[in-house]
Amino acid sequence: MQKVRKAVFPVAGLGTRFLPATKAIPKEMLTVVDRPVIQYVVDEAQEAGIDHLIFVTGRNKGVIEDYFDIQVELSNTLAERGKSVELKLLDELQPKPGTASFTRQQAPLGLGHAIWCARDLVGNEPFAILLPDMIMQAEKGCLAEMVALYEKTGGNVISVEQCAPEETHKYGIVGKGDAVGNGFKITSMVEKPAPEKAPSNYLISGRYILQPEIFDILATQERGAGNEIQLTDGMLKLAETQDFAAYPFTGRTFDCGSKEGFIEANVAFALWRPDIREKVIGNMEKLLKTVEPADNAVI
């Protein structure tokens, strides 16, 4: 069984739900408290033992590559001003030389196509995928738990969460089989089933460990929903010949691709911070008592 060493981060999306901010700033660089969204996802990957970060970018995403590079002028200025704490933080977050790679998805053809664009950087080995819009909060990261399950099962592993049974038509849903390790075997995968036809209420939630055979499937995958090449369609094909297991994540997941999820993530991660928690709680209590919706709010 090969170790999972590489992770793919599809960061080519336009982020239209956050215009006008994302006209100049990639949505992955919007900050939750004091870190970009992408940093939380990279932290999760590194906690799981990932040592090669692969970013699938697009036009106007160069700032992501700059963020993971050394800022010489900034480091020199901090050193001159005796900002040792800030320098130590930047050093801890800096990927080691040669451990971050970047490739481009030149056309917006879907998630499956974005993953296929990383095929030469991944090579012939299992790899993780982390959707950068989804940031997860737990004492132990979701991907670390998935790697633990993968080491027992091999094959392919995806993260799942439970949804309300009446909402299965909104998600990709898996069938629940026998328990294994800290998860269970997957018996089926269905895209957006009606509640009465859903095999369970476990939805696919944005973290994957896949075998490299997925690339051959995606290379010839026909376009699906939204006229895009869908990763789920490729996984359904892969499941015909390979086993899939699921890790049921029980922490909190925040969809930072939506305004509501992004704001919720900021509040939740602020409340996790002992240095600002009490002040944030106090300020929120004041706001909830005094702020009224504006009739002329800009939408």
* Structural domain harbouring 193: 6-290
Q: Is residue 297 part of a domain?
A: no
Distance between CA 142 and CA 82 in Å, rounded?
37
Total tally of structural domains belonging to the chain:
1
Residue located via tokens 């499956």: 112
Q: Is residue 227 part of a domain?
A: yes
Show pLDDT as tens, one digit a residue, over the chain (299 residues).
Answer: 789 999 999 998 888 888 888 888 899 999 999 999 999 999 999 999 999 999 999 888 889 999 999 888 999 999 989 999 989 999 889 899 899 999 999 888 889 999 999 999 999 999 999 999 999 999 999 999 999 999 999 999 999 999 999 999 888 899 999 999 899 999 988 888 899 989 999 999 989 999 999 999 999 887 767 677 888 889 989 999 999 999 999 999 999 989 999 999 999 999 999 999 999 999 999 888 887 766 655 55
Q: Is residue 263 part of a domain?
A: yes
For residue 166, give both structure tokens.
Answer: 């009446």
Taking the mean position of all CA atoms in its chain, how far away is CA 221? 23
Q: Which residues, in sequence order, are bridge partners of residue 252?
A: 137
pLDDT of the residue at 189: 87
Asked whether 204 and 158 are in contact (CB, 8 A), the reply is: yes
Record the pTM.
Answer: 0.90
Q: Is residue 296 part of a domain?
A: no
Asked whether 33 and 21 are in contact (CB, 8 A), the reply is: no
Cβ contacts of residue 203 below 8 Å, gap of 6+? Answer: 160, 161, 162, 163, 168, 170, 171, 172, 173, 174
> Residues 185, 188, 192, 198: is their CA dihedral positive or negative?
negative
Q: Is residue 32 part of a domain?
A: yes
Backbone angles phi, psi at 167, to 5 degrees: -110, 10
Q: Is residue 115 part of a domain?
A: yes
Distance between CA 261 and CA 206 in Å, rounded?
15
Q: Is residue 272 part of a domain?
A: yes
Q: Is residue 1 part of a domain?
A: no
pLDDT of the residue at 16: 85
For residue 108, give both structure tokens.
Answer: 């917006």
Residue located via tokens 């999820």: 261
Cβ contacts of residue 97 below 8 Å, gap of 6+? Answer: none
pLDDT of the residue at 299: 54
CATH code at position 101: 3.90.550.10
